[in-house]
Structures are given as C-alpha cells and as structure tokens.
Amino acid sequence: MSFIESHAVQLLTDLPEALIITTASGEIVFFNDSAATQSGFNSDEMLGQHISRMLPESHRRKVNVVTWLERWADNPDPEQLRYLSLAGVRKNGDERRYQVRVSKFEDKADVYFAVVLRDVTETQELTVQLRHAQLISNRIIAIGEDAVLSIDADFKVCLWNKKAELLFGYTENEILGKSIDILIPEAFRDTHRQNIQSFSTDKIPSKYMGERAEILGLHKSGRMIPLEASITKTHIDNKLIMSAQVRDISERKQSLKSLEDSEARFRAIFDHAVEAISLLDASGLVIEINPAATDMLPLDEYVKDKHLWELTWWGSNDSSEKLEAEEALQNNVMEATQGNLVRTRTELSTSRGLVQIDFSLIPVSDTNGEVIYIIAEARKLIEL
C-alpha cells in the first residue's frame, strides 16, 4: 500500500461521519471508527457481515436494504431523503433511525457502495413531538371560542382561524396576505396601526383581554363590531409575528345595556314609590331602603348592617310593647325566609305620631327555590 493510500485509509477511518463500504451484494468491507461508536459494533465484528445486520428490513418498507442502496447510489441526494430514513439497530438491540447518503464506485469489475449514516433518532422523535404539539395547537386554534389571527411585520394577515371567519365574514383565502386595515373602520386605522407599532417595539411580550380598551372591528358587510382583544408577539425565523385573540362583545354590551336599563327602571320605582320599601337579605339584614322609608325614621339614622326589627320605628314608646313588636317582626321575617308571604298590620311611631300601616314581607327566590332577598313594604293607613 502506498503512502497516499495508507493516509487515505486513515482519513476514512478517522472521519467524524459513520462510513461503511459494502460490496454490491451488501457485504461490509470497511467499517470506520465513527460507525463503531454509533452502532456499538467494532470493525472486526462487522467486516464480512451483511449490512442488514445493522440495517434490518423495516416493518414499514418490505424492501431489502441493498435495493435502497442501489436506488440511491445513482442519485446520492434525492429529494425524498430529506424526509425518509432507514430503521437501524445497535449492538445492544436499541432501535435507531439513520439518515443515509450513498455513492457508488467501481474497482476493476467490482462495484462498491460507500454508505454514510447519521443517527437522527432523537431529532426525529423531537420532530414528531413538535408536529404533534403543532397539530394540537392548530386544532385548539381552529375550534376555539375566540377568533385568532396573526399578522407579520408588514401588518399582513398570515393566520386566520374558523372563528375569525365567522366573526369578520372573510374566508381564509380572502384574507391571507391582506392588510389588517381591512378589519378596522377607516376612522380608527391610523390609531390602530400606531398602537400595533408601539406594541411591536415594546418589551412587553403580550397584553391580555381587559388591559386594552374596547376596539371596533369591521365586518365584510360593513357592519362595525365591538371587540375585546389580547395580543402577543413572537419571532419565527427572525421574523416578527403578532397574534391576537379577538372576542365579539356585542352580546355582553347588550346584556350590560339591558341590565343598566333594568337598574334605571328599578331605581325609578324604588326611589320614587309612595310606599316605604326596604330590601333585605335572607337573614333580614337591611341592604337598602327608599326615601319613603327613610322619612319614617329618626333623622340620619344609620340603617345598613342592622336587621329590620332593630330599627327605631317599631311599636309604642312603652319598652315592653316595643320589645314585643320587635320579636313579632323578627318572627315574621323568619317566616318569610321560609318562602312564605307575610302580611300584617301594625303601628309605627314617627315624629308626627302613631301611624297605622299595612305591612308585607315578600320573599324573592333564586332558580333553585332558595330565598335570597326579602322585600319589606309598608303602606300608611291612618295617622292617629
């Protein structure tokens, strides 16, 4: 063996890539140190052995490994090898996955394959995990309750889920690549762009729902939509991507408006009623009384955190009669807490004298039939 040949063999032996040279039939004639480290087999164990000892037939691909080597030898970097790998096995029985590169050379009448193997087991497992996680994320985004959309640094839409389609009226094909401006009423576009630009350069990675004021979106039909949004940013391949979860708050606003209207009607009735009205909790504790009831009490008497029977308007000036009246009222309240309507007549001591009143306790129950409030009403009958 010449000097150059001996150095070439040493170079191949020390090559950091696992290198195996086989005959056309698959018999191993060269097995370098990296191949030994990667497989657990030493060179003496593998020389003269068939390469299928290290690359056995796959359960998924019923093709002999030599057939693959022959196929790939004429095209050592086929497109399919970017996605395919061969099943392998280490000396200890561990199953591995190998990325394969093959070249063919001839020595006189003999054909040989030079096979470079790279163990990609962990990489493929990680890829599978990432794909699985991506599929789950995509599924969650696709069926989530919120509209999800993403834009790039040029404000172009690059992700659009089904809920976004339902919210804004644009299909994915219609919106991808379009400016986010199409979803914002014209009067607010400049301000919206400024806010996004400010967020893109801010150190804060995300802003959650509730931290931003209500924004207005624009439906494909031209209808404006009150929205609540949270936004986050990330870099993918050194490119800025900003994603938003968007929620239509039209129903919430309508519900709030209905609640406000209901409260306004309640206040109009409660505050301006001629009858004295008190709102109690289920134990008889005063929550609120209206002005007509306040007029029956001594000036500036504090009523909250007191039970109805503890107020100073009940009974006569006689202490024993007053105590008796308080006990009777307390019993009436306890009866109302059981869900019973209570009506009675009593005397009320006011600054203008005794007043005969028609007194009612009306229980208010929740959907489960449990009393949560008691309404106390007092109607004047006769002033004595």
Angle CA(232)–CA(233)–CA(239) in degrees, nearest 5? Answer: 160
Ranges 19-28, 89-98, 112-121, 125-134: which has the least confidence: 125-134
What pLDDT sits at residue 223? 94
Q: Give kind and range of the element (H or E) at residue 1.
A: none
Q: Which CATH superfamily is domain 271-383 in?
A: PAS domain (3.30.450.20)
pLDDT over 50 (residue 294): yes
Can you give the pTM of this predicted structure? 0.51
- Mean pLDDT computed over 90-111: 88
What's the full length of the chain, in residues? 384
Distance between CA atoms of residues 47 and 205, nearest Å: 57
Q: Which of 208, 206, 216 is nearest to 242 (CA)?
A: 206
- Mean pLDDT computed over 321-332: 82
> Which CB contacts under 8 angstroms, 24+ apart, belong to 201-209?
205/232, 205/233, 205/234, 206/230, 206/231, 206/232, 206/233, 207/231, 207/232, 209/245, 209/247
Question: What is the percent of the chain where pLDDT is above 90?
Answer: 33
- Mean pLDDT computed over 60-88: 70
User: Is the CB of residue 20 less than 8 Å from the CB of residue 117?
Assistant: yes
Could you read off the pLDDT of 219-277 as tens digits, one per residue?
Answer: 999 999 999 888 888 887 788 999 998 999 998 888 889 999 988 998 898 888 888 89
Most confident by average pLDDT, 90-94, 204-208, 327-331, 375-379: 90-94
> Which CB contacts under 8 angstroms, 24+ apart, belong to 340-348?
345/381, 346/314, 346/315, 347/315, 347/316, 347/384, 348/296, 348/313, 348/314, 348/378
Ranges 73-87, 202-216, 292-306: which has the least confidence: 73-87
User: Is the CB of residue 158 less than 8 Å from the CB of residue 151?
Assistant: yes
Q: What band does 206 get if pLDDT is binned at 50, 70 and 90?
A: confident
What pLDDT sits at residue 351? 55
For the chain, residues classed under CATH 3.30.450.20 are 3-120, 144-252, 271-383
User: Is the CB of residue 189 less than 8 Å from the CB of residue 178?
Assistant: no
Write down the mean pLDDT value for the chain.
Answer: 83
Could you read off the pLDDT of 329-356 as tens digits, one per residue?
Answer: 889 999 999 999 999 877 666 555 667 7
Q: Tell which CATH architecture fits domain 3-120.
A: 2-Layer Sandwich (3.30)
Tokens of 103: 């070249």
pLDDT over 50 (residue 384): no
Measured CA to CA in angstroms, residue 94 lies from 54, 88, 89, 131 at distances of: 11, 8, 6, 24
Could you read off the pLDDT of 121-172 as tens digits, one per residue?
Answer: 888 787 777 776 666 666 666 666 789 999 999 999 998 998 999 999 999 9
DSSP 204-252: --EE-TTTS--EEEE-TTS-EEEEEEEEEEEEETTEEEEEEEEEE-HHH
User: 144-252: what CATH class?
Assistant: alpha beta
